Every structure is written in structure tokens, then in C-alpha cells.
Amino acid sequence: MEIYAAVQPLVPTREAYQMMYGEDDPEELSIMQLQDKEVAERISSVLRDLYFMESNFDQPREGEGLSETIGTAEDLLELRRIAAAEHGKTPDDYQGGGVPVGFQFNHLINHADDEGYYLPVDFPQAFFVEEISIGSAVALLGEMDALESVLAAQFPGEVALALSTPDDEERVQLNGPVGVWHALRRLCRSAIELDMPIHLG
């Protein structure tokens, strides 16, 4: 199963819903926007409660950023294994509470595989709002930067190719953990630049 991600607002404008879903009924468009706004308000509330952070993710926004296929679930798991091994851990150690809160690579590992969001703000620990997985794109980018030398030692050719591809060009086709790493780096940079979340799924 391949994992898809896009940089886009948590609450798009009604015009964006109309384009995305081909829906013209104003009432239906309002319902779609209201449902996403309620989710965004719950996420914003948890950010305030946990980290005293104010956000405007519940406000309708126009535009979108990068959208890419990240890789397969198996590729993501392999990248998580490589990251966890840097601390003598496994992904199960992270997901089972076997590492301290805020431990490095928790945004990569303690996040749902193919759904949820990475927000363009910095906070130490990935978390869930009900069933919605939330991570920090800022923290995730830092984790990807920390993995660059680790991956380069194991996959030198693939990492060199990834690093030679500018963000404004189409992503080179890389498989395995390097492909996931490369896609996540690009998505995080797009999210931070545009101040929009990465949406998985």
C-alpha cells in the first residue's frame, strides 16, 4: 500500500471544496467546511492545552503546496527501524511507551502510517486528537536532517541523488527508506514555507 500526502489547509475555502469534490450545492459545501472546521478547532484546542500554542488552522485558507506519494508502508517501517536503531530501540519501543516524551524521532515513529497531519509548528511530542494522529512538520524536518548522514552511510548513491534534486523540480524516483525520507523532507519544507499542514491520506 502506497502512502499519499499533500500540503493543504485544514479548512479550505468553499471554492476549494467545490473544485475538489465537484459539488455545487452551497449547503453541502457549508457542511463539508463545518466538519473540517470542527476537527481543526479540536486540534487547536489540544495545542493550546498541551503546549500553550495559539494557531489559526481553523480559519479557511486558499492554496496548496506539494503533493507526493511518500512510499509504501513497508518503506516507512524500514525508515522507522533505521531511526529507532540510532538509539538502540525499535519502533515498538517508541509506540509502546518505551522512550521518554520528546525523544528524538518520535514524530516519525509515533504517528499513524497513512493518515493524520503534520502541522507547520514546532512541538516536542506527536499526539492524537481522538483518532487523528498529529505531528510537527518542523520537528519531523529536524528528524529527517538528523537521518541524512545515517542514510548516506547505508545508501550513498540514493542519498546523493535525492540531495541533488531541488525542491522545485519533480522528485526523483527513489524507493525504500531513502524515498520516504526524501519525500518527507520535501513535504515538510513546503508545509513550513506555506504555513500549511501536511495531510496524510
pLDDT in tens, 138-151: 999 999 999 999 99
For position 76, what pLDDT does the model report?
A: 97
- Is the pLDDT confidence value at 32 over 90? no
Instruction: Tell me the residue type at 131.
Output: E
3-state SS assignment for residue 119: strand
Terminal Cα-to-Cα distance of the chain (whole angstroms) = 11
Q: What contacts 68, CB < 8 A, 6 or more positions away?
A: 4, 5, 6, 171, 183, 186, 187
- 53-62 pLDDT, tens digit per residue, is 999 999 999 9
Using CA atoms of 153, 157, 158, 161 in order, give the dihedral in degrees to the nearest 10.
120
* Ramachandran category for residue 112: left, alpha or beta (phi over 0 → left; psi -120 to 50 → alpha): beta
- 73-106 pLDDT, tens digit per residue, is 999 999 999 999 999 999 999 999 999 999 999 9
CB 65 within 8 Å of CB 193: yes
Q: How confident is the model at residue 133 (pLDDT cuts 50, 70, 90)?
A: very high
The model's pTM? 0.93
**Mutual angle of helices 137-154 and 176-194, in 10-degree steps:** 150
CB 131 within 8 Å of CB 115: no
**Cα distances (Å, whole numbers) of residue 142 to 10, 96, 124:** 23, 23, 11
Which is more confident, 24 or 125?
125
- Residue 3: strand pairing partners: 71
For position 69, what pLDDT does the model report?
A: 93
| Whole-number Å distance between alpha carbons of 180 and 82 | 12
Q: How confident is the model at residue 20 (pLDDT cuts 50, 70, 90)?
A: confident
CB 37 within 8 Å of CB 59: no
| Listed residue (102, 106, 74) closest to 93, CA to CA | 106
- Is the pLDDT confidence value at 23 over 80? no
